[in-house]
Amino acid sequence: MADLFTKCVEFTRAREIMASGLYPYFTEISSAQETEVTIEGRRILMLGSNSYLGLTCHPKVKAAAAAALEKYGTGCAGSRFLNGTLDIHRQLEERLAAFFRKEAVLIYSTGFQTNLGTISALVGKNDTILIDRLDHASIIDGTRLSFGKIKKFAHGDMDDLERILTHCGDNGKMIVVDGIFSMEGDIAPLPRIVELAREYGARVLVDDAHSVGVLGKTGRGTAEHFGLEDEVDLITITFSKSLASIGGCVAGDESVIHYLKHFARPLIFSASLPPSAVATVTACLDIIEEEPERRFRLWEITHKMLEGFKAAGFHTGESETPIIPIFTGDMEKAFMMRKLLFDAGIFVNPVVPPAVPPDQTLIRTSFMATHTDPQLDFALETFEKVGKKLGII
């Protein structure tokens, strides 16, 4: 008789990597998520955070979170559907709707749940959902929970997307893409996606998890970046990147948001977002609008690091954003590079199969508006030394 736990006992790969001293995951950090963090008593340069605007320790953000904690307590003790909707939840939804220039917004407790709940509720058994092969895991899992037909197109390949659309018939269709792809750092070809959606009668959902505060003239994301805010039907985001919190939301037409309120299971059956997290997002939105220089600085850093890595000889793929991959060629080199960088005082994230194809193993670097030039220069110098030592460059 088969034992359900057999696969757990037989899973030894991670323990083998631990024994080799190269295991990079679940590293304990004992300080705030800033440009430098404390790990085992050492100060380490953080090049693996998604806090693109560096707002996790902004005084206004911390003060807003503390004030909400004092007024509302630590949690809501229930779901949004029942007793867990506070006045500040509704106020934030109204603020986000204005920010994204959409009719309405619905807040979920995590960014993952946002895609999970939105996609699974909207895509029915007679519908088709079309996703980029490199879309985020939350999008993939959302499609699995839906009852629709799932079609994947090659990453960024609009000819492949059109080929699939021609065979979808007259049923309901939705195209879902990341605005900025979370590992590769490239931007979805949204103008062509919108054009194809119009031609074939599909709706468009853009996951702007890594785009808010980064792309667009005012930081509103991918649709603003391309001037297509009226053409994108739904925008989903997480609060855990530029907005320095936890949670997520979907923005769109009021009728769609109203429907989701009553059919999105991850919303209805999950506890509501804590008050301090809600207040944090509101404060971050204020700063995005009041301090555009943060976004300008982030792009200065992005251009500096992209040029620096390329000049050193690293392969950075098609990245054009603060997410810059360093392709290593194989998994062993990725783990070794991460260790050598860590030993030299730099934290980065190795990305290996199954998160990426075997030939796309990489070191993921990401940058904050608060990184200093001396920190960046140190990073480039160290990367070049390590890259040469490992034969990557």
SS3 label, residue 23? coil
Question: What gap in Å lies between CA 38 and CA 40, rounded to an integer?
Answer: 7
* DSSP string for 24-42: -SS----S-SSSEEEETTE
Q: Active-site residue 303, yes or no?
A: no
| Beta-strand relationship, 323-327 and 346-347 | unpaired
SS3 label, residue 320? coil
Contacts of residue 190, Cβ cutoff 8 Å, sequence gap at least 6: 177, 179, 206, 222, 223, 225, 226, 228, 232
Cα-based distances in Å from 210 to 3, 18, 37, 112, 241: 41, 30, 21, 13, 7
210, 225, 333, 371: the catalytic one is 210
Q: Active-site residue 210, yes or no?
A: yes
Contacts of residue 44, Cβ cutoff 8 Å, sequence gap at least 6: 36, 37, 38, 342, 345, 346, 347
Length of the chain: 393
49, 120, 182, 276: the catalytic one is 182
Cβ atoms within 10 Å, residue 92 = 24
Task: Write down the residue that tokens 């079609």 correspond to.
Answer: 151
Cβ atoms within 10 Å, residue 71 = 12
Cα-based distances in Å from 339 to 12, 336, 363, 368: 20, 5, 11, 22
Torsion of CA 106, 108, 110, 112, to 10 degrees: -70
Burial class from Cβ neighbours inside 10 Å (0-12, 13-18, 19+) for residue 152 reads middle
Q: Active-site residue 182, yes or no?
A: yes
Written as six digits, the tokens of 26 are 């679940």
Q: Are 295 and 338 in contact (CB under 8 A)?
A: no
Question: What gap in Å lies between CA 261 and CA 252, rounded to an integer?
Answer: 13
Written as six digits, the tokens of 324 are 């810059």
58, 102, 173, 241: the catalytic one is 241
Q: Which residues are catalytic?
A: 182, 210, 241
